[in-house]
């Protein structure tokens, strides 16, 4: 679609054409009736492409001002001079590439004459007339609406706004759902998991009045579960993944580590966006986009990708059209898309229209100059900082509206502006959108506060709207939340929950979770800062130190984590593979080691390099805590028992032959206190993180995309895909029917379940319904289950019941 | 939504329901809509099915369907003398020759239109997966929306021929565990059309039956019982009426379709063990040959679009960067018998007239020139180009985009016809009727009754079956 707009080109050339072949005499123009003679002609022959929101070739005749303004190639109508008006040339041209309209019936000579006469008479227009009401332009500034009074004690601002809306339409508020339905919905929406049966029972038994709000708050406080659920949403929106196109040639960088920490720490959204725009090495991947090997068209360079991604992810603006030519469907222009791209560009960026240079250099600029502008002359990092500041400017209501609308969509099943990437369109409720947006800003951009506000509303807690087979989307009116289909990740996670078959390994290069304060307090490092010689305080610039530790483990670790940092950089190799690296000594790395260490002999090689330009202090520190199956813990820390090697391993971490040891071992660096003062606390935190933070069930969001998830709609993440498919389709269903992945999980799940003592097969069914559907089975359902389970359930019977329940629409929907 | 298995008595009602369901879900996700304001007239189809035989990795035209001056291996021969490394042989069509090693295909060339003038762009680096993306979707990556595969267009616009048979089946290409797998996945998809129109992937033809069988270890009786339990649980579900119909219906319909295929008689089409031994042997040159047999069985049972590939694996099969001659001799062996047999079998069954079989590749190869003369394409070979010293350097080892052969059989194309021509001396570029990818696609779409101008609206923009709707079918090749 880089140049998918042929008609507009044609129009542009047609308008540029001034035919001199027919000498037209400017006879005294006849009296023309605009409303009855001109409007019908324009509507019939030009209206499809040049009225309302349509403006092919950037030319609209929706109202007189736009008619006279002309299009990309200049004026179309010169009042009083039909002979020189390109519009007349276009409608009379015989050249199929230039004529207007490009297809369909030609204008009759009578109609052409009417138009000539009308133009010669000054192109008189009826005051205030427009073919269609002008395109909606969303307000930019934030606005805090006055809240209507609460009705029936429903004080949540969301309810006050929606109740007023319902009252105005004389519509009845949807009925509230029961506690169990609410609990299932809140769990799946906020942390992406089913409520465990015990937790659900406890919640149902709870008699306190505010238990729903308390549940919402407690779910949002589950940092790890929250982060690992919302990781899916953000990976989609920021097109981050652990495998995919571009990685093979190094044309793409993950932001996983950065994103995961940002979510676990619930980083304020304004800061979050600033870090993505004015990026650090860890968050660079979003701005950098995907660089393909070979030539790409002008509309697909990484600079243009930057403009498109920033526009779509943060502002709900689709700049894909405007990256190639002035958009026909909204107000964005080629120069604006290139302006945004030029903020990121490090060299000169030539403006291209439909992949052809137009002889202009893009000026770095951003989309809403009314809030301020970037300095096009500033260096790139400075420009990005300025863009980040403008994006998160307190007066940029578009930024907050876009994200709260996305969160509303995730929880309520439909955007206030819909689709959520089309923020240029009108919301169905201005007050609701504006309130949520200002609420976010007032709450220091804490996204969890927005989620809490929505999830604690009566609106969220009401029955899902029941749509017929023919939901009329054109005239949306709020009538309760809408059921959502489980995402691929939610489906996989819930299957793992019920069957207890989650994998123990995952692909995302992160250390999961967050350590407890106590664990950080209790963490005392034993590792020492070491270097190859005693004069480490005056190590040469660029000096390299290779240290090795060999040790044996009596069994494979059940948990192992480490921390490392070096002044100035290090690479860590374990058993001949690169495991971690760092080049900022003030930012120690937490490293997960469970899968890197093995029973028997292990070796760790640290390659550290000093920086600077003259002699300066050098040192490296590492410590691992390894927990074995028998409960014992091994600590491996840098100290003078580490060997010093003469040369580092190759880039892959391998030694061609057994490396020669230097004379003597590593030396503990004197005066390491200075480092410890600065990073001692962080070293302890990171080690506690790596070695002790809780490790709940591995989540599908941490795994590479696989066949099942792809089939269930997890996108390839080569483009930003912010909304997943709402339908289950036949090919997916085939896989759910006979795919090996699911079948294996069900088999393992069945044996796990059968290992438990069930008083009766009904008890098993009841447990399953509680877990999967958060309700008790009806007698009819119990009896159907009994038919397949019998009195003494077999593995096959349990598998079949599991399958049948997992396939129920009731299960596959967050209803 | 494509056509789906219907209860004949309820056809109309069901159809309306589906339409409504499609409307509701489509709008809910901003999915593509067929552009209403483009007045597209679909041509009359000359084919109902299409089998794309994909020669992944760059099939050298001068060593297959467009033989040039033959130069056998000799130590010290200048590399520039090498145009073809196989001598030409006659075919069933007077005056038309192809390369030695393709004798069986030669015998059925009187049923073929041989296009010798297909061309591709140079994209700087001439990379296989990027050109394959372009060839399969009609668009050069990267794209701002996920572009649908040719087969997905057929599935979307035409739907399945037989309601139980998936419309788009992709045979022979592994998408896991091979090089450039992510790049392959990027175009082996229905893109923005959504998975409903995506491929059913059958990388191992011999194991295809497993894809439409109940899970391993589940006998048919239990499989049916499980589904019947499921349907009863759905019927007794106390929340059934409290959930939106369109969401439930689409889930139930899809599961029903799946179950229907998995218990249908057409399921047998996937099972190569049911093919008579003698016939199986005629095809069995390995996974590719089996794939051709599978394609025939699928088309016999109503498949719409089947792609069968020799499989793209970097530096394997057609991706010849050394030992080119010997590797291509092996490829000849792999392809000759099964392709010829496929054509004969389709003809014998009266299916060839309405089945378009297309043999194509992402580009051709040459011993000397990378890309086309004057391009900025980077050299892909490292071995000496002055004189030939070693047998392993004998072959067409460079990517060439200036003139590629495409063979079409059946489906309304002329028989024993040659379209386009390449030069007889280097550069071997198309000198007559050059046919870029968009025109080749337009020709295939036209045969299938799809206008190359067909457009869908995605994110408010038109997306055409051929780039900008500009692809033009080569009318001369139609009978």
Question: Is the C-alpha dihedral spanning B7, B10, B15, B17 positive or negative?
Answer: negative
Mean pLDDT, range B66-76, rounded to an integer: 96
Distance CA B108, CA B338 (A): 12
- Show the beta-strand stretches assigned E in A517-631: 530-531, 544-553, 557-567, 569-574, 577-582, 589-592, 600-609, 619-628
Residues in chain B with CB shorter than 8 Å from the CB of A466 are 241-245
CB contact under 8 A, B468 and A781: no
Distance CA A381, CA B214 (A): 58
pLDDT in tens, A508-523: 888 888 888 888 888 9
Tell me the two tokens of residue B53.
Answer: 């035989």
Residue A641 lies in a domain: yes
Residue A127 lies in a domain: no
User: What pLDDT, on the 0 to 100 scale, is given for residue A249?
Assistant: 83
pLDDT in tens, B375-411: 878 787 888 889 999 999 999 999 999 999 999 999 9
Distance CA A422, CA A315 (A): 9
pLDDT over 80 at B32, yes or no: no
> Looking at the structure, do residues A609 and A750 belong to the same domain, yes or no?
no
Residues in chain A with CB shorter than 8 Å from the CB of B178 are none
Number of domains into which chain B is organized: 1
Residue A225 lies in a domain: no
Distance CA A480, CA A171 (A): 11
Q: Which of A636, A669, A692 is the last residue of a domain?
A: A692
User: What pLDDT, on the 0 to 100 scale, is given for residue B27?
Assistant: 35
Tell me the two tokens of residue A441.
Answer: 């800003």
CB contact under 8 A, A308 and B248: no
User: What pLDDT, on the 0 to 100 scale, is given for residue B39?
Assistant: 64
> Looking at the structure, do residues A675 and A810 belong to the same domain, yes or no?
no
Enumerate residues 21 to 80 of chain B having a beta carbon within 8 A of any beta carbon in chain A: 21, 23-25, 27-31, 37, 39
pLDDT over 50 at B11, yes or no: no
Residue B12 lies in a domain: no
Tell me the two tokens of residue A347.
Answer: 């060299």
Under DSSP, the state recorded for B84 is B
Distance CA B298, CA B349 (A): 13
Tell me the two tokens of residue B251.
Answer: 């889930």
Residues contacting residue A94 through CB under 8 Å, at least 6 positions apart: none
B460 vs A383, more confident: A383
Q: Which of A692, A722, A740 is the last residue of a domain?
A: A692
> Looking at the structure, do residues A654 and A533 belong to the same domain, yes or no?
yes
pLDDT over 50 at A60, yes or no: yes
Mean pLDDT, range A539-566, rounded to an integer: 92
Residue B228 lies in a domain: no
CB contact under 8 A, B255 and A244: no
pLDDT over 70 at A645, yes or no: yes
Buried b (16+ CB within 10 A) or exposed e, A323-337: bbbbbbbbebbbbbb
* CA-angle at B155, arms to B151 and B156, nearest 5°: 115
**What is the pTM (predicted TM-score) of this model?**
0.83
CB contact under 8 A, A808 and B460: no
> Looking at the structure, do residues A538 and A660 belong to the same domain, yes or no?
yes
> Looking at the structure, do residues A677 and A535 belong to the same domain, yes or no?
yes
Confidence of residue A495 (pLDDT cuts 50, 70, 90): very high
Distance CA A644, CA A663 (A): 8
Tell me the two tokens of residue A403.
Answer: 């994200």
Distances (CA, A) of A483 to A163, A467, B248: 20, 10, 11
> Looking at the structure, do residues A786 and A650 belong to the same domain, yes or no?
no
Distance CA A100, CA B158 (A): 33
Residues contacting residue A67 through CB under 8 Å, at least 6 positions apart: A60, A61, A76, A77, A123, A125
Looking at the complex, does the CB of residue B198 fall below 8 Å from at least one CB of chain A? yes
Distance CA A534, CA A530 (A): 9
Confidence of residue A655 (pLDDT cuts 50, 70, 90): confident
CB contact under 8 A, A320 and B127: no
CA distance B456 to chain A (A): 11
pLDDT over 70 at A473, yes or no: no
- CATH number of residue A607's parent domain: 2.60.120.260
ipTM value, please give it. 0.84
Tell me the two tokens of residue B67.
Answer: 């033989």
Q: Which of A86, A120, A154 is the last residue of a domain?
A: A120
pLDDT over 60 at B331, yes or no: yes
User: What pLDDT, on the 0 to 100 scale, is given for residue B217?
Assistant: 84
Q: Is there a contact between B429 and B457 (Cβ–Cβ < 8 Å)?
A: no
User: What pLDDT, on the 0 to 100 scale, is given for residue A474?
Assistant: 64
Tell me the two tokens of residue A260.
Answer: 């995961």
Mean pLDDT, range A410-419, rounded to an integer: 95
pLDDT over 90 at A28, yes or no: no
Q: Is there a contact between A273 and A255 (Cβ–Cβ < 8 Å)?
A: no
Taking CA–CA distances from A300, the nearest residue in chain B reads B142
User: What pLDDT, on the 0 to 100 scale, is given for residue A27?
Assistant: 46
Residue B259 lies in a domain: no
> Which structural domain, as residue segments, surrounds residue A643?
517-692
Q: Is there a contact between A189 and A411 (Cβ–Cβ < 8 Å)?
A: yes
Number of domains into which chain A is organized: 3
Distance of CA B17 to the CA centre of its chain: 33
Residue B240 lies in a domain: no
Distances (CA, A) of B132 to A321, A576, B148, B396: 25, 37, 13, 19
Tell me the two tokens of residue A217.
Answer: 């708050």
One DSSP character per residue, A606-634 reads EEEE--SSSSB--EEEEEEEEEETTS-EE
Taking CA–CA distances from B235, the nearest residue in chain A reads A781
pLDDT over 70 at A323, yes or no: yes
At residue A623, what are phi and psi to the nearest 5 degrees? -150, 135
Q: Calculate Rg over the CA atoms of chain B.
A: 23
pLDDT over 70 at A13, yes or no: no
User: What pLDDT, on the 0 to 100 scale, is given for residue B40?
Assistant: 79
Q: Which of B41, B142, B452 to mutate to test the interface with A (most CBs of A within 10 A)?
A: B142
Tell me the two tokens of residue B46.
Answer: 């000359």
Tell me the two tokens of residue B182.
Answer: 């992510």
Distance CA B73, CA B79 (A): 10
Reference A306, options A324, A293, A323; nearest CA is A323
Confidence of residue A98 (pLDDT cuts 50, 70, 90): confident
- % residues pLDDT > 90 (chain A): 60
B140, B241, B462: residue with CB nearest A4: B462
Residues contacting residue B466 through CB under 8 Å, at least 6 positions apart: B138, B438, B439, B441, B442, B445, B452, B453
Distances (CA, A) of A432 to A158, A164, A220, A448, B108: 7, 11, 22, 17, 70
User: What pLDDT, on the 0 to 100 scale, is given for residue A132?
Assistant: 76
Pairs of CB atoms within 8 A across A/B: 271
Residues in chain B with CB shorter than 8 Å from the CB of A743 are 215-216
How, if at all, do strands B200-202 and B421-422 pair? unpaired
User: What pLDDT, on the 0 to 100 scale, is given for residue B6?
Assistant: 27
Residue B404 lies in a domain: yes
CB contact under 8 A, A467 and B214: no
B4, B140, B251: residue with CB nearest A297: B140
pLDDT in tens, B224-240: 999 999 999 999 999 88
> Looking at the structure, do residues A593 and A671 belong to the same domain, yes or no?
yes
> Looking at the structure, do residues A655 and A532 belong to the same domain, yes or no?
yes
User: What pLDDT, on the 0 to 100 scale, is given for residue A200?
Assistant: 97
- Show the beta-strand stretches assigned E in A362-443: none
pLDDT in tens, A141-196: 999 999 999 999 999 999 999 999 999 999 999 999 999 999 999 999 999 999 99
Distance CA A457, CA A163 (A): 11
Mean pLDDT, range B154-166, rounded to an integer: 94
- CATH number of residue B470's parent domain: 3.40.720.10
pLDDT over 60 at A224, yes or no: yes
Distance CA B203, CA B291 (A): 9
Taking CA–CA distances from B224, the nearest residue in chain A reads A800
How, if at all, do strands A633-637 and A619-628 pair? antiparallel
User: What pLDDT, on the 0 to 100 scale, is given for residue B35?
Assistant: 64
pLDDT over 50 at B115, yes or no: yes
> Which structural domain, as residue segments, surrounds residue B50?
36-211+283-477
Q: Is there a contact between A255 and A240 (Cβ–Cβ < 8 Å)?
A: yes
Output the average pLDDT for chain A: 89
User: What pLDDT, on the 0 to 100 scale, is given for residue A91?
Assistant: 87
> Looking at the structure, do residues A91 and A19 belong to the same domain, yes or no?
yes
Confidence of residue A63 (pLDDT cuts 50, 70, 90): confident
Residue A152 lies in a domain: no
Mean pLDDT, range B114-136, rounded to an integer: 91
> Looking at the structure, do residues A532 and A669 belong to the same domain, yes or no?
yes
CA distance B411 to chain A (A): 27
> Looking at the structure, do residues A619 and A739 belong to the same domain, yes or no?
no
pLDDT over 90 at A374, yes or no: yes
> Looking at the structure, do residues A526 and A651 belong to the same domain, yes or no?
yes
Residue A608 lies in a domain: yes
């Amino acid at each position: 679609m880089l140049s998918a707009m042929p008609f507009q080109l044609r129009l542009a050339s047609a308008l540029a054409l001034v035919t001199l072949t027919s000498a037209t005499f400017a006879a005294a123009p006849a009296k023309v009736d605009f409303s009855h003679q001109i409007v019908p002609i324009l509507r019939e022959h030009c209206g499809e492409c040049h009225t309302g929101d349509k403006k092919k070739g950037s030319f609209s005749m929706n109202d007189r001002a736009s008619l006279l303004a002309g299009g990309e190639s200049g004026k179309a109508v010169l009042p009083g001079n039909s002979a020189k008006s390109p519009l007349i040339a276009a409608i009379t041209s015989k050249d199929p590439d230039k004529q207007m309209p490009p297809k369909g019936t030609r204008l009759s000579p009578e109609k052409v004459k009417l138009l000539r006469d009308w133009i010669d008479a000054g192109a008189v227009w009826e005051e205030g007339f427009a073919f269609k009401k002008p395109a909606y332009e969303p307000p930019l500034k934030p606005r805090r609406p006055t809240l209507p009074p609460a009705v029936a004690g429903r004080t949540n601002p969301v309810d006050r706004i929606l109740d007023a809306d319902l009252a105005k339409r004389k519509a009845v508020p949807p009925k509230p759902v029961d506690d169990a339905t609410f609990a299932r919905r809140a769990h799946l929406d906020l942390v992406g998991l089913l409520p465990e049966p015990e937790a659900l029972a406890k919640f149902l038994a709870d008699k306190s009045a505010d238990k729903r709000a308390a549940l919402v708050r407690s779910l949002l406080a589950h940092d790890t579960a929250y982060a690992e659920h919302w990781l899916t949403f953000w990976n989609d929106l920021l097109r981050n993944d652990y495998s995919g196109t571009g990685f093979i040639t190094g044309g793409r960088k993950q932001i996983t580590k950065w994103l995961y920490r940002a979510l676990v720490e619930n980083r304020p959204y304004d800061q979050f966006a600033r870090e993505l725009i004015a990026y650090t090495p860890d968050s660079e991947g979003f701005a950098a986009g995907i660089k393909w090997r070979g030539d790409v068209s002008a509309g697909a360079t990484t600079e243009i990708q930057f403009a498109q991604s920033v526009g779509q992810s943060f502002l709900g603006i689709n700049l894909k059209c405007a990256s190639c030519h002035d958009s026909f469907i909204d107000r964005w222009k080629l120069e604006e898309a290139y302006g945004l791209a030029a903020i990121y560009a490090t060299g000169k960026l030539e403006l291209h229209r439909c992949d052809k240079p137009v002889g202009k250099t893009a000026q770095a600029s951003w989309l809403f100059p009314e809030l301020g502008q970037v300095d096009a002359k500033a260096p790139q990092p400075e420009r990005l900082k300025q863009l980040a500041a403008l994006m998160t400017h307190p007066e940029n209501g578009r930024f907050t509206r876009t994200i709260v609308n996305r969160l509303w969509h995730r929880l309520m099943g439909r955007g206030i502006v819909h689709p959520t990437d089309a923020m240029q369109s009108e919301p169905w409720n201005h007050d609701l959108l504006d309130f949520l947006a200002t609420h976010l800003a007032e709450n220091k951009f804490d996204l969890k506060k927005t989620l809490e506000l929505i999830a604690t509303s009566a609106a969220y807690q009401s029955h899902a709207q029941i749509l017929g087979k023919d939901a009329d989307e054109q005239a949306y009116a709020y009538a309760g939340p809408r059921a959502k289909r489980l995402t691929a990740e939610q489906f996989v996670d819930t299957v793992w929950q019920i069957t207890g078959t989650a994998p123990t390994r995952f692909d995302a290069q992160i250390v999961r979770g967050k350590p407890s304060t106590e664990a950080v307090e209790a963490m005392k490092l034993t590792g020492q800062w070491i270097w190859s010689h005693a004069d480490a305080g005056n190590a040469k610039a660029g000096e390299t130190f290779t240290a090795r530790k060999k040790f044996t483990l009596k069994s494979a670790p059940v948990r192992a984590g480490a921390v490392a940092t070096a002044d100035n950089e290090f690479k860590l190799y374990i058993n001949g593979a690169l495991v971690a690296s760092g080049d900022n000594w003030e930012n120690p790395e937490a490293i997960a080691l469970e899968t890197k260490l093995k029973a028997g002999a292990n070796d760790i090689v640290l390659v550290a390099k000093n920086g600077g330009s003259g002699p300066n202090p050098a040192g490296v520190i590492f410590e691992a805590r390894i927990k074995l199956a028998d409960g014992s813990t091994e600590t491996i820390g840098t100290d003078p028992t580490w060997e010093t090697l003469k040369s580092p391993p190759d880039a892959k971490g391998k030694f061609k032959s057994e490396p020669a040891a230097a004379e003597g071992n590593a030396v503990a660096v004197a005066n390491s206190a200075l480092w410890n003062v600065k990073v001692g606390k962080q070293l302890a935190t990171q080690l506690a993180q790596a070695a002790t933070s809780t490790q709940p069930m591995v989540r599908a969001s941490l795994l590479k995309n696989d066949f099942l998830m792809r089939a269930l709609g997890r996108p390839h993440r080569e483009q930003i895909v912010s909304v997943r498919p709402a339908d289950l389709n036949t090919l997916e269903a085939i896989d759910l029917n006979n795919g090996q992945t699911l079948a294996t999980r069900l088999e393992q799940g069945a044996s796990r379940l059968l290992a438990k003592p069930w008083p009766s097969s009904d008890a098993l069914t009841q447990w399953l319904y509680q877990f999967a559907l958060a309700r008790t089975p009806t007698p009819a359902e119990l009896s159907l289950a009994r038919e397949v389970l019998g009195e003494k359930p077999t593995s096959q019977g349990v598998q079949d019941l599991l399958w049948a329940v997992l396939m129920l629409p009731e299960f596959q929907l967050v209803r | 939504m494509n056509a789906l298995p219907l209860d004949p008595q309820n056809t109309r009602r069901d159809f309306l329901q589906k339409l409504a369901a499609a409307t509701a879900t489509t709008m809910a996700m901003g999915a593509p809509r067929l552009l209403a304001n483009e007045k597209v007239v679909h041509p009359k189809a000359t084919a109902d099915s299409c089998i794309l035989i994909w020669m992944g990795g760059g099939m050298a035209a001068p060593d297959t369907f467009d033989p040039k001056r033959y130069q056998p291996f000799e130590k010290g021969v200048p590399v520039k003398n090498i145009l073809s490394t196989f001598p030409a042989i006659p075919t069933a069509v007077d005056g038309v020759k192809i390369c030695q090693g393709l004798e069986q295909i030669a015998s059925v060339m009187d049923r073929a239109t041989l296009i010798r003038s297909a061309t591709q762009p140079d994209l700087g680096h001439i990379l296989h997966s990027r050109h394959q993306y372009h060839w399969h979707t009609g668009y050069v990556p990267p794209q701002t929306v996920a572009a649908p595969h040719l087969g997905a267009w057929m599935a979307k616009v035409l739907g399945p021929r037989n309601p139980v048979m998936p419309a788009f089946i992709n045979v022979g290409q592994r998408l896991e565990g091979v090089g450039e797998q992510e790049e392959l996945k990027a175009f082996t998809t229905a893109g923005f059309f959504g998975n409903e129109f995506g491929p059913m992937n059958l990388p191992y033809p011999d194991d295809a039956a497993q894809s439409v069988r109940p899970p391993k270890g589940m006998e048919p009786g239990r499989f049916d019982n499980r589904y019947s339990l499921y349907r009863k649980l759905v019927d007794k579900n106390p929340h059934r009426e409290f959930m939106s119909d369109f969401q439930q219906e689409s889930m139930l319909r899809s599961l029903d379709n799946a179950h229907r295929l998995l218990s249908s008689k057409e399921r047998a089409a996937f099972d190569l063990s049911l093919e008579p031994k003698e016939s199986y042997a005629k095809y069995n040159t390995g996974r590719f040959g089996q794939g051709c047999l599978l394609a025939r069985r699928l088309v016999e049972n109503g498949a719409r679009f089947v792609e069968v590939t020799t499989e793209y694996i970097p530096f394997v099969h057609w991706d010849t960067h050394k030992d080119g001659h010997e590797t291509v001799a092996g490829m000849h062996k792999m392809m000759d018998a099964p392709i010829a047999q496929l054509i004969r079998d389709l003809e014998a069954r009266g299916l060839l007239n309405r089945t378009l079989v297309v043999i194509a590749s992402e580009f051709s190869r040459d011993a000397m020139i990378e890309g086309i003369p004057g391009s900025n394409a980077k050299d892909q070979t490292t071995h000496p180009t002055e004189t030939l010293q070693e047998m392993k350097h004998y072959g067409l080892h460079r990517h060439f985009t200036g003139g590629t052969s495409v063979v079409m059989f059946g489906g309304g194309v002329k028989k024993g016809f040659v379209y386009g021509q390449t030069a007889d001396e280097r550069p071997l570029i198309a000198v007559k009727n050059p046919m870029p990818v968009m025109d080749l696609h337009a020709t295939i779409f036209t045969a299938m009754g799809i206008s190359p101008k067909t457009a869908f609206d995605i994110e408010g923009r038109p997306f055409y079956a051929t780039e900008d709707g500009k692809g033009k079918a080569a009318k001369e090749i139609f009978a």
